[in-house]
Amino acid sequence: MNGLTLAYLGDAYYELEVRKYLINKGFTKVKVLHNEAIKYTSGQAQAHIYETLLENDFLTEEEITIFKRGRNNSSSGRKNVDAKTYTTSTGFEAMIGYLYINDKDRLNELVNKSIDIIEKGGINNG
């Protein structure tokens, strides 16, 4: 599967897991859920998560390879995010998609760690 297809799958799965997490935290209003979810799923958030995972040696060589496959096949981005952030977030999503297919235990570990990174440190999405 190519990197962009993995990213497509990873984007959907990660979004679903974040939404379930937020609902379990007690958020029920759709507008609030959406605004909270952006803190975890925006391109800036995903790039921050990836960089934090990388800096803390949390990723395997295989995961980094898959990240690069997604990143390198990504387009130059969208008008609301710079190209580096966009390609990094696409690589992150490719990693999630790959793990969804190949290693559900590691997938759960990575998603939980990703949520934890945002919960503890957050980023400025503003």
Q: Kindly list the catalytic residues.
A: 11
CA-to-CA distance for 92 and 58, rounded, in angstroms? 13
Q: In this structure, what token pair is assigned to residue 38?
A: 């952006």
HSE of 44 in the Cβ direction (CA atoms, 13 Å)? 11
DSSP designation for 59: S
Calculate the alpha carbon distances from 66 to 19, 81, 88, 124 in Å: 25, 22, 12, 27
